[in-house]
Amino acid sequence: MPQIVFLPHPELCPKGAALEAKSGETVLDVALKNGIAIEHACEKSCACTTCHVIVREGFYSLNPSDELEDDMLDKAWGLEPESRLGCQAIIADEDLVVEIPKYTVNMVSEGH
């Protein structure tokens, strides 16, 4: 089983976490079922960027992003070449190291 290491995040997982994952699960689902409350304002429908993560290791083992995800990612805060939406990043069989960005673009939580 692949392992996902979530790097420390000040609010969501201050000490970081090393979690077991199953191939075919999304990065977001693994985080949520293990108590890491990554935002997902669109309920995992690839319609926002609140579950944006940066895959520091294992990026190329994930399923390729599609055009819709790429269009959404263009709106994400702190976009990097290894950025993915956690709800769309499907785990294969390699270990991952994932960083949760400090900020998200969430119009609902920002009161707009």
Long-range CB pairs of 41-48 (<8 Å, 24+ gap) are: 41/106, 41/108, 41/109, 42/87, 44/87, 45/87, 46/72, 46/85, 46/87, 46/88, 47/72, 48/72, 48/105, 48/106
Average pLDDT (17-37) is: 97
pLDDT of 107 above 60: no
pLDDT of 106 above 80: no
pLDDT of 16 above 70: yes
Domain coordinates of the chain in residue numbers? 3-99
Architecture of domain 3-99: Roll (3.10)
pLDDT of 112 above 60: no
The DSSP symbol for 26 reads B
pLDDT value at residue 104 = 78
pLDDT tens, 53-90? 999 999 999 999 999 999 999 999 899 999 999 999 99
CA angle 48/110/78 to nearest 5° reads 55
